[in-house]
Structure 1
Amino acid sequence: MSKYKNIKINTLSMHNIIDEDSDLIPLLTPEDEAEMNKEVVPEILPILPLRNTVLFPGVVIPITATRDKAIALIKEVNKGDKTLGIVAQKDPASKNPTFDDIYHTGVVAQILRVLKMPDGNTTVIIQGKKRMQIKEVVQQEPYLKATAVEMLDDLFVEDSNEFKEIIETVKETALNVVEENPNIPTEGTFAIKNIQSNSFLINFISSNIDLSVDEKQELLEINNLKDRAIATLKKLNVELQRLELRNDIQNKTRVDLDQQQREYYLHQQLKTIQEELGGNSQEAEVQELITKGKKKKWSKEVRETFEKEVARMKRLNPQMPEYSIQRNYLELMLDLPWDTYSKDKFDLNAAEEILEREHFGLEKVKERIIEHLAVLKLKGDMKSPIICLYGPPGVGKTSLGKSVAEALGRKYVRIALGGLRDESEIRGHRKTYIGAMPGRLIQNLKKAGTSNPVFVLDEIDKMASGIQGDPSSAMLEVLDPEQNAAFYDNFLEIGYDLSKVMFIATANSIGDIPWALRDRMEMINVSGYTIEEKIEIAKRHLLPKQLKEHGLKSSHLKINKQVLEFVVTGYTRESGVRSLEKVIAKLVRYAAKSIALEQEYESSLSQEKVLEILGAAKLERDKYENNDVAGVVTGLAWTSVGGDILFIESILSKGKGLSITGNLGNVMKESATIALEYIKANAEEFGIKQKTLDENKVHIHVPEGATPKDGPSAGVTMLTSLVSVFTNRKVKSKIAMTGEITLRGKVLPVGGIKEKILAAKRANIKEIVLCEANRKDIEEIKESYLKGLKFHYVTEMKQVIEIALTKQKVKKNVLEIK
């Protein structure tokens, strides 16, 4: 409905209006309405434009006249028959409206009363009589006058049942609107219930409903009373829905406010009780944080952040979830080791002794650590390097971090990154979330208590992307010495200096590390161990460790080098020593069980006793196969667990084409195709008859078909195998090879040379064929690893054939098909 001020006047005016002679003007009756319709309208009618108001027939409204033209018109009309025309302005801002600035449909009205207000303005109470339409304006000054005014009659069928139902619905809806709107006085309900005229009821409601001037004018211009009633009902329904929605919102808000006031009152009581008992726990908590903060040696930025967050905590209600998050945040700031660094040890000899004591081999890694210490000693300060140790499992990459920390005199921290899929584990969660926490980096620095620990990022190649983001991308900032001086954690929301942290990442395969991340790290290859190294590691580290873990002394079990070598060669084949440790643990358990049961046992184990405890030797895979059959050649391969040997078998059968089996990847299949095509193109040089090539089908197989195999390094092995089977020439005994081939017969270098050489030594290989470009890789390997091996460096496949194949013929490796 309309604003409170207008509604109150209108409803009161409908109840009764006291004129100057104290006569009562009752509510409009049907008889009054009929009499009004019969009244004669003057030929020339003064026109009073109204701003923001539309007058309806029968409705009484007050008007405050402020414009000079309006005041002059009212004075003139009030002296005469008090009849005038009321129309609405199209533009309320217009101060001197013309014929084009007003709506042409309005109401003939009568002045009921003129009141002089204390502020000097004139208030006029007028009543609408009948709708009219202006055809022509005959006067503009001093006010508007119109002639040729056409009176508009309401068209309706009074006795229609449908119309009666519409009127009842309009009345009922209007009463609901009055009830829902607290700004409308109770007189509004009384007025609506007491209106007898249907047309006046519609006009009264249309006048008082909360609509714009345009919408009210639209209702006024509807000639058919039934249509006007339906249009008014639509507007009433919209208004009712709006009021109900607003009241619902107010009720909910009031309930929430009441609950908040209740909690505030209870908290005030609790505060008073706590003060009586010895103080407010929240204030004491905040004061404790402030006291701790004053003792910290923070930078200006960190201290300002802390003070701002403490002030925010003071304003929070202790019962709110945000309070505990804020407290955790401030406690984290206090616990983090801002600008707290442990002092590095610069005794290089002692550091070297620690590294040698804890780890056998790993010369490159030890050399890099000593270099870092030397620079620190000379310069005093430097950005710590990002080192990535990559190699097969079980070679001591992770445990090396502890030794480095001990050698440097720093704290040791380790994060397992295997299977990590959530970026928030690195960067932390934002404080806005319930249960928010900082990232693992910040958490572990808090535990370490210093800002320069040795930080081991274990299995960095095992991180994976998930729906929560890509953790490897988040690590780009962490592992960049130029950026990690201001590492941003989402929970901490302030830069933290990681440049003094010494990061050591570990990985099994560098191919699984994103190139951008790999580019930020110094890659150091930790290769597998030789048999001799494994024996030393077992003697120095593994056996004493297992004896200690099983509660035994060194005198309870002794294993000499010969037995250890038997254990290493017969029961392990890995590049590392993890499986070897498990085997030694089983031998130690034998002694522990015998001691616990008070049984006699051999404290110095023999090979026979080892066979009895461990069972028959299991290592058969690396056993070298003989060269009695043409087409079987030994190749060297690299796997994620170290080096290995594999056998390429070729056989001929009647027919045409090439078959390849053994669970080979596309690259190996392509190598086989290249090898066969090269042989066909150079058959005469190898002494192969064209008839042999045309009439035989070639089948190449790599045993252990359950194991996937791929890579280009088996190219030379496949080509040697094919030449052997085509020429029936015997392959030289105890020779292995590795290298990629081209269609021109060139031999290209490959990787994983050290692992492949170790695999060859385990298989008792004596000669190895390599690409000339791999000579530099051999020169980097310790001479002790190369003992007993003879290397042949080649550049073309013809050289390989000359070295690998003898002139001796063997039994044909041909499958006869009858």
Structure 2
Amino acid sequence: MAHAEITEERILPLLPLRGLLVYPATVLHLDVGREKSVRALDKAMLEDHMILLATQMDTQMDDPLAKDIYTVGTVARVKQMMKLPNGTIRVLVEGVERAKIIDFMEEDEWFEVRAEILIAPLQSDPQIDALVRAVTQQFEQFLQVSKKHTPETHAAVADIDDPGRLADAIAANLSLKMKDKQAILEAVDVTQRLETLLQILSDEREILELEKKISQRVRKQMERTQKEYYLREQMKAIQKELGDKEGRVAEVEELRDQLESKMFAKSVHDKVEKEIDRLEKVPQSSAEGSVIRTYIDWLLSLPWEVDVQPEIDIHRARAVLDADHYGLEKVKERIIEYLAVQKLVGQHRGPILCLVGPPGVGKTSLAKSVAHALHRNFVRISLGGVRDEAEIRGHRRTYVGAMPGRVIQGMKTAATMNPVFLLDEIDKMANDFRGDPASAMLEVLDPEQNSTFSDHYIEIPYDLSKVMFITTANTVHTIPQPLLDRMETIYLSGYTEVEKLRIAMDYLFPKQRKEHGLTKDKLTINEDTMLRVIREYTREAGVRNLERQIAGLCRKAAKMIVAGEKKRVTVSVKNIEQFLGAKRFRYGMAEQSDQVGVVTGLAWTEAGGDILAIEVSVVEGKGRLTITGQLGDVMKESAQAALSYIKSRATELAIPPDFTETHDIHIHVPEGAIPKDGPSAGITMATALASALTGRAVDRHVAMTGEITLRGRVLPIGGIKEKSLSAHRAGILKIVLPRDNQKDLEDVPESIREKMEFVFVEHMDEVLRQALK
């Protein structure tokens, strides 16, 4: 008979077990409450998570001594720990190898022992094969006789090839006396272990068969009602043995198994257990049963304790963000700051960032990159058109179709407690008779409240404090102020022409080329051609339409190659119209020549910045003022203020004082900004009036924005970056801005500041000197 190999000696903390024994290769939950055991567990967690599990001889003894503990135990790895509300610690352990205690080194604070690791040598001979076959046969016969074991018990050991592990697995699944289990553990030699197990199995099977015979004799003496009850129970047992998982009983069993396999907090565990008990009592045909079952499935599928905690590397995160997106420095810097804080303080409440900008600037894709950089799961829900409060908070469980809100649904999809959660188009929510979803979002996005978020369907408070929420919006004026106050707003303005060129060449063109099955040698586009696509076939703040045009080029090239017209396609400035047709936009939307009564103004829109050609016509009449165009009340008032200023300066401008009585004035704005734009066209209208009334032409290279008072003071406005980008796209060389906006110039890209002249003014007289020829 072969002996055990002693590979090494180790010093390990010891955890005494009461009424329990762990075999190698077995995973088991333990509840640890004794102070000595807790200290031993802490010692193991501080070192290499390895601990020796040995069973004490007397289960009633609370404070065992060294002589009260079996000398052979199992070295185990601590995989998980969770503190329960009653003060005990639930531990998930995995047995590794047998070990024999040589010496107790510490017994006061905790048990610490010197132990030999016991490993049986690998053996393969006919005797072991015969023993394995005999043990397996005896185990199958035992399961057939026993009513306390399920088919899963056999499945758990059927596929094990190693004889030693097979013996351990069978012993772990048997309800044996502790001395018998310990005897199998102490049998290090595989042959001896199998022989011991075979004897125990044989004895147990004989006892069970004897019990069965006694039961059969007693059954003949039962009354009829007892006999029928027994037969029903027998039928259930037969179905169970045959694997027929049918009926409410099997359903409840399966749910209880799922519950025990998950590590839930006590409140959640008790709630699920209570609902399973309710389901067990509901008749099979009742509609209430499906409602309860669906509710239990939701509770079991939600992540209650699962976190993904990757190592934070801000240099890698920065590299990921730079690789996925060109520019957007402020947003990237904010993400890196968040990561740095998390690395220093550990657990940190997730920030709530609101990315605001025109369509196509990369808000949604940036959120995906953040999740990638953080090594977190990513989930997205769209809030566009959501009108029902139940979409956020969930439906109450009063009917069959009730379900949780979109936030809880998203957490189920994420499968972790700390995903990156994108709430897309938060400015597109509306409210009606079904409630106000924006108000329901207040609890979701409040760091002080979302740790106990209440969903009407789930009913149990759910912790959202670890989630990193990112929201997107095209504009903030449609978001209610209390909701906006809970978010950190980061503005993403439009891209410059240079940025668009780099994005197109480095990101969009390679992506579309790959999606259309083309290689570098099959389709070539140089920078000059791409610049022409940007200037003459798109007019936007973002790059979404630019990507569509590039996709159009790829489709045309793919058709040519497949049709055999060309083997390689090169798109150039000369043949661009063959691919995309006639140009759709004129590069440089400013006037082609200096005009009288026509001034280029600048406006802010949801799609970025835009230019406005404000026109004034003066004809003989009776002093009537006409204002047309898509103008709100604010811009109409700006026109009245501009006219009053011109009246007050009529003498200095050499305009007849009675011009308002002898002439009609018509102010027309072909394109007006959205009403939220507010006052920003006052100085533009005043300049156009001065030009029309004096006959002096306006410099076509000058654009302006700012508001005017009756005394001619120029007031500051907003959206300087967006307006500057639109002026650059339109070919403007000089922008006149209020002096109070000089501080906003740092937001304008340096490439724009180098190509354009910015003139800051305080009074309308300075504007006229800059604009009128």
Provide TM-score, normalisation by structure 1: 0.64
1:509–1:744 distance in 2 versus 1, CA, 3 Å? same
Of 462, 470, 486, 2:428 maps to: 462
Aligned to 1:593: 559
Structure 2 CA distance for aligned equivalents of residues 574 and 680 of structure 1: 39
How big is each residue's C-alpha offset from its partner over 1:713-733, in whole Å with a ceiling of 9 and x where there is no partner? 111100110011111222124
Structure 2 CA distance for aligned equivalents of residues 334 and 598 of structure 1: 58
1:753 equivalent to 2:720? Answer yes
Give the superposition deviation at 1:272.
8.2
The answer to whether the 8 A contact 2:424-2:472 is kept is: yes
Aligned AA (1:557) = L
The answer to whether the 8 A contact 1:663-1:709 is kept is: no
Aligned AA (1:542) = L
Structure 2 CA distance for aligned equivalents of residues 615 and 595 of structure 1: 19
Give the superposition deviation at 1:627.
4.6
1:531–1:402 distance in 2 versus 1, CA, 3 Å? same
Structure 1 CA distance for aligned equivalents of residues 534 and 483 of structure 2: 37
1:566 equivalent to 2:532? Answer yes
The higher radius of gyration belongs to 1
The answer to whether the 8 A contact 1:345-1:407 is kept is: no
SS where residue 414 of structure 1 aligns? strand
SS where residue 392 of structure 1 aligns? coil
Give the superposition deviation at 1:739.
0.9
Structure 1 CA distance for aligned equivalents of residues 481 and 575 of structure 2: 51
Aligned to 1:812: none
1:307-706 to structure 2, matched below 5 A, reads 307-600=273-566, 603-620=569-586, 623-655=589-621, 656-703=623-670
Give the superposition deviation at 1:530.
0.6
Give the superposition deviation at 1:628.
3.4
Of 732, 740, 765, 1:765 maps to: 732
In structure 1, runs of 5+ residues without a counterpart are: 1-266, 807-818
The answer to whether the 8 A contact 1:658-1:698 is kept is: yes
1:277 equivalent to 2:239? Answer yes
Aligned to 1:299: 265
1:271–1:685 distance in 2 versus 1, CA, 3 Å? farther
Name the stretch that deviates more: 475-484 or 297-306.
Answer: 297-306
Give the superposition deviation at 1:592.
0.5
Structure 1 CA distance for aligned equivalents of residues 232 and 723 of structure 2: 76
Structure 2 CA distance for aligned equivalents of residues 497 and 575 of structure 1: 38
Structure 2 CA distance for aligned equivalents of residues 449 and 560 of structure 1: 45
SS where residue 558 of structure 1 aligns? strand
Structure 2 CA distance for aligned equivalents of residues 299 and 327 of structure 1: 20
Structure 2 CA distance for aligned equivalents of residues 569 and 412 of structure 1: 35
The answer to whether the 8 A contact 2:321-2:370 is kept is: yes
Structure 1 CA distance for aligned equivalents of residues 768 and 535 of structure 2: 31
Aligned AA (2:723) = K
Aligned AA (1:689) = P
Structure 2 CA distance for aligned equivalents of residues 707 and 516 of structure 1: 23
Give the superposition deviation at 1:270.
9.3
Structure 2 CA distance for aligned equivalents of residues 291 and 277 of structure 1: 18
Structure 2 CA distance for aligned equivalents of residues 272 and 434 of structure 1: 35
Structure 2 CA distance for aligned equivalents of residues 678 and 598 of structure 1: 69
How big is each residue's C-alpha offset from its partner over 1:296-336, in whole Å with a ceiling of 9 and x where there is no partner? 22222222222222222222122212111111111211111
Give the superposition deviation at 1:560.
0.9
1:290–1:277 distance in 2 versus 1, CA, 3 Å? closer
Give the superposition deviation at 1:622.
5.1
How big is each residue's C-alpha offset from its partner over 1:83-134, in whole Å with a ceiling of 9 and x where there is no partner? xxxxxxxxxxxxxxxxxxxxxxxxxxxxxxxxxxxxxxxxxxxxxxxxxxxx
Structure 1 CA distance for aligned equivalents of residues 757 and 528 of structure 2: 25
Aligned AA (2:694) = T
SS where residue 566 of structure 1 aligns? helix
The answer to whether the 8 A contact 1:438-1:489 is kept is: yes
How many residues are matched?
Answer: 541
- What is the percent sequence identity of the aligned residues? 53
Give the superposition deviation at 1:385.
0.4
Structure 2 CA distance for aligned equivalents of residues 775 and 706 of structure 1: 23
Aligned AA (1:282) = R
Structure 2 CA distance for aligned equivalents of residues 271 and 624 of structure 1: 90
SS where residue 256 of structure 2 aligns? helix
1:317–1:679 distance in 2 versus 1, CA, 3 Å? same
1:414–1:558 distance in 2 versus 1, CA, 3 Å? same
SS where residue 793 of structure 1 aligns? strand
The answer to whether the 8 A contact 1:591-1:601 is kept is: no
Give the superposition deviation at 1:271.
8.8
SS where residue 469 of structure 2 aligns? strand
1:540–1:276 distance in 2 versus 1, CA, 3 Å? same
Aligned AA (2:522) = H
SS where residue 473 of structure 1 aligns? helix
How big is each residue's C-alpha offset from its partner over 1:601-660, in whole Å with a ceiling of 9 and x where there is no partner? 652211122111111211138521145331110011111111111111111111112011
1:735 equivalent to 2:697? Answer no
Structure 1 CA distance for aligned equivalents of residues 470 and 687 of structure 2: 43
The answer to whether the 8 A contact 1:587-1:613 is kept is: yes
1:486–1:709 distance in 2 versus 1, CA, 3 Å? closer
Of 736, 742, 748, 1:781 maps to: 748
Structure 1 CA distance for aligned equivalents of residues 300 and 709 of structure 2: 64
Give the superposition deviation at 1:464.
0.8
1:339–1:277 distance in 2 versus 1, CA, 3 Å? closer
The answer to whether the 8 A contact 2:638-2:679 is kept is: yes
1:706–1:283 distance in 2 versus 1, CA, 3 Å? same
The answer to whether the 8 A contact 1:274-1:280 is kept is: no
Structure 2 CA distance for aligned equivalents of residues 764 and 640 of structure 1: 21
1:518–1:371 distance in 2 versus 1, CA, 3 Å? same
How big is each residue's C-alpha offset from its partner over 1:566-613, in whole Å with a ceiling of 9 and x where there is no partner? 110011110000110111111001111011111116522111221111
Structural RMSD (CA): 2.2
Structure 2 CA distance for aligned equivalents of residues 404 and 742 of structure 1: 46
Structure 1 CA distance for aligned equivalents of residues 555 and 589 of structure 2: 30
Structure 1 CA distance for aligned equivalents of residues 294 and 631 of structure 2: 55
Structure 2 CA distance for aligned equivalents of residues 797 and 706 of structure 1: 22
In structure 2, runs of 5+ residues without a counterpart are: 1-228
Name the stretch that deviates more: 564-573 or 273-282.
Answer: 273-282
Structure 2 CA distance for aligned equivalents of residues 321 and 774 of structure 1: 67
Aligned to 2:90: none
Provide TM-score, normalisation by structure 2: 0.68
Aligned to 2:680: 713
Give the superposition deviation at 1:405.
0.2
The answer to whether the 8 A contact 1:558-1:605 is kept is: yes
1:704–1:776 distance in 2 versus 1, CA, 3 Å? closer
Structure 2 CA distance for aligned equivalents of residues 692 and 357 of structure 1: 62
Give the superposition deviation at 1:705.
8.5
1:621–1:704 distance in 2 versus 1, CA, 3 Å? farther
1:766–1:317 distance in 2 versus 1, CA, 3 Å? same
Aligned AA (2:461) = G
1:408–1:710 distance in 2 versus 1, CA, 3 Å? closer
Aligned to 1:802: 769
Aligned AA (1:414) = R
SS where residue 574 of structure 2 aligns? helix
